[in-house]
Amino acid sequence: MNNKELQSKLDGTVGAAFLLTAIYFIWTNSGFFSLFSFKHLAFILIGAAVFGFILSSLLYITLKFLLKISNYINNKFSKYSPFNKTLNLASPFGIPTEILIYVLVFFITKNLYVYFFTTEYEIKHPPLMRSFHCTQFKNEFTLGKYSNPTNKQIEDLCICIDNKLTEADKSNLNSNVNQIGSENLIKSIKNFGDSLKQCGGHDL
């Protein structure tokens, strides 16, 4: 497969994957007829063109880079490796690559859809808005709208936060505002939030 054929193949695959994924999310969240609304048509057509061009170009560069590495290894160690032929990616675009592209495009398109049409997405996927509690602290806290971590993840998060906070902060967080003053409490809450972010709480 020459460079032109590879680029063309990537353009078509990425564009088709975006088109199918966008239609899926719009149809399942807003109904079939909403596919023909101006904003959704714009999202589908412009997205397929712009997103398809950008991602396919990035994938093209990546595949060509991997091909060069593969050919280098093949030429460098061909005398020593009985499997040198398996290292030569003469055809860097196959079914495994195509499947990976569809999976990648699916998740990127989902995030784009949520970004542009959050309200519509939440009709079918209402925010969980779960609250969580660390045994070390008396107050509950929330994470992202759709955060749904396991008990083990929360336990690890709480241990990490506990290790980062000072004893003064821990005491303030478990005290009454009348005892320590609002200024000290606000400071400790801020430190708690910073520790939560540093411990990866926003990624759960």
Of the given ranges (90-99, 103-112, 150-159), which has the lowest mean pLDDT?
90-99
pLDDT confidence of residue 90:
41
CA gap 130, 141 in Å, rounded? 9
Number of helices followed by number of strands (H, E) in the chain: 8, 2
Amino acid letter, residue 20: L
CA gap 198, 157 in Å, rounded? 10
Backbone angles phi, psi at 132, to 5 degrees: -130, 165
pTM, two decimal places:
0.53
Q: Give the number of C-alpha atoms closer than 13 A to the C-alpha of residue 173, restricted to the C-beta side.
A: 24
User: Hey, where are the domains in the chain?
Assistant: 3-124, 131-203
pLDDT digits (tens, 9 = 90+) for 61-78: 887 787 777 666 666 665
Say whether pLDDT at 88 is over 50.
Answer: no
pLDDT digits (tens, 9 = 90+) for 18-37: 888 999 888 888 777 788 88
- Per-residue pLDDT, averaged over 86-101, amounts to 62
pLDDT digits (tens, 9 = 90+) for 128-167: 778 888 888 888 888 887 888 899 999 999 999 999 999 9
Which residues have a Cβ under 8 Å from the Cβ of 4 and sit 6 or more positions away?
none
DSSP secondary structure letters along 33-45: GGGGSHHHHHHHH
